[in-house]
Amino acid sequence: MSESAQCWINGRLMPGSEASISVFDHGLLYGDGVFEGIRFYRGRAFRLHEHLIRLMDSAAAIRLTVPYTPAELTQAVADIVAAFAATEGYLRLIVTRGVGPLGLNPDNCTQPTVIIIADHLSMISDKQRQQGAKLIIASTRRLPADGLDGRIKSLNYLNNILARMEASQAGADEAILLNQNGYVTEGSAANVFVIRDGRLFTPYPADGALQGITRRVVMALATDKKIPMTVGTLTPYDLYTADECFLTGTGAELTPVREVDGRPLRYCPGPVFSRLAQAFTDVIYKETEKKCVFNAKAAKT
């Protein structure tokens, strides 16, 4: 937490240093809740509509009622961004099952806890952005969808944390998780793309990839730029033999990859990555000129 962190809890805005929640909150006790990570640039949240739709979908999937409308959350986001000391930063929007007695049963948790944190984020170092990230393929596998559907952005990240720890242990920056079939899903907190012979490839959501909002922006940019694209099944071989590889995410933005499991990639940053990264920066610039007002119709398109 930085000194300038701000927090909004169930309608109350306060400095991050004063924020606290109950130890009986089921978000803490059981990871029972959902969240979104959102960037803001120039004082405006990027793709807020899409994040709110995904939050509402994640909550619906775990039978959790968010006690605020998307319009109210949009206002809360505007308030916390205005209170934050800088015009660029990161928001963590969390909805937990709320306070309840010990025990998994959520039926006695009557009031969900809604938290928004605004702070600086330095998930990717400048060195990684310039020189590219080192990846490993983790031995920890992505949880199967019939255990926990990967589309639910839940507070249960232990699986991803274990993979991330493997990366640190190996001196790498990020880990790629495979699914039970050995197919590439995504990183611990980012989607993955590879480029081979000018074509962009990214894994199927059904293979276990979160439908990342940054991923969606990149796919739209590839279509605009007439870069051929395949959403399909990838194996570690496709990563090892790629011309280029990169990660996408709210935290990672677009991060080039230089090496996978000790195999250097042909180009880092490569020409296709560089085109998309420039186009991504342009999209951020263009979209954050506008004021963010929740518009459900726009969010679905």
| CB 105, min distance to ligand PLP, A | 27
Tokens of 296: 């459900």
Which of 127, 134, 153, 226 is catalytic? The answer is: 153
Question: For residues 187 and 269, which CB has a smaller minimum distance to ligand PLP in the complex?
Answer: 187
Question: Is 174 an interacting residue with respect to ligand PLP (CB under 6 A)?
Answer: no
Question: Is 212 an interacting residue with respect to ligand PLP (CB under 6 A)?
Answer: yes
Contact 113, 96 (CB under 8 A): yes
Question: Is 190 an interacting residue with respect to ligand PLP (CB under 6 A)?
Answer: yes
The residue sitting closest to ligand PLP, measured at its beta carbon, is: 212
Residue 175 C-alpha from the chain's centroid: 15
153 carries an active-site annotation? yes
In 3-state terms, what secondary structure has residue 114?
strand
Question: For residues 132 and 249, which CB has a smaller minimum distance to ligand PLP in the complex?
Answer: 249
Cα–Cα separations (whole angstroms), residue 13 to 46, 50, 82, 240: 21, 24, 11, 47
Question: For residues 37 and 89, which CB has a smaller minimum distance to ligand PLP in the complex?
Answer: 37
| Rounded Cα–Cα distance for residues 171 and 181 (Å) | 26
| CB 153, min distance to ligand PLP, A | 7
Contact 115, 92 (CB under 8 A): yes
Contact 225, 252 (CB under 8 A): no
Question: Is 191 an interacting residue with respect to ligand PLP (CB under 6 A)?
Answer: yes
| Rounded Cα–Cα distance for residues 5 and 163 (Å) | 28
Question: For residues 93 and 272, which CB has a smaller minimum distance to ligand PLP in the complex?
Answer: 93
Q: Single out the segment in contact with ligand PLP by CB under 6 A; choices: 106-114, 161-169, 209-217, 219-227.
A: 209-217
Question: Is 210 an interacting residue with respect to ligand PLP (CB under 6 A)?
Answer: yes
Question: Is 215 an interacting residue with respect to ligand PLP (CB under 6 A)?
Answer: yes
Tokens of 180: 């039970």
Closest CA to 210 of 229, 235, 191: 191
- Look-up: residue for tokens 């998307």? 70
Q: Single out the segment in contact with ligand PLP by CB under 6 A; choices: 26-34, 70-78, 206-214, 237-245.
A: 206-214
In 3-state terms, what secondary structure has residue 126?
helix
Residue list 7-46, contact with ligand PLP (CB under 6 A)? 37
Interacting residue ranges for ligand PLP, rule: CB under 6 A: 37, 160, 186, 189-191, 210, 212-215, 248-250
Q: What are the residue numbers of the active site? A: 153
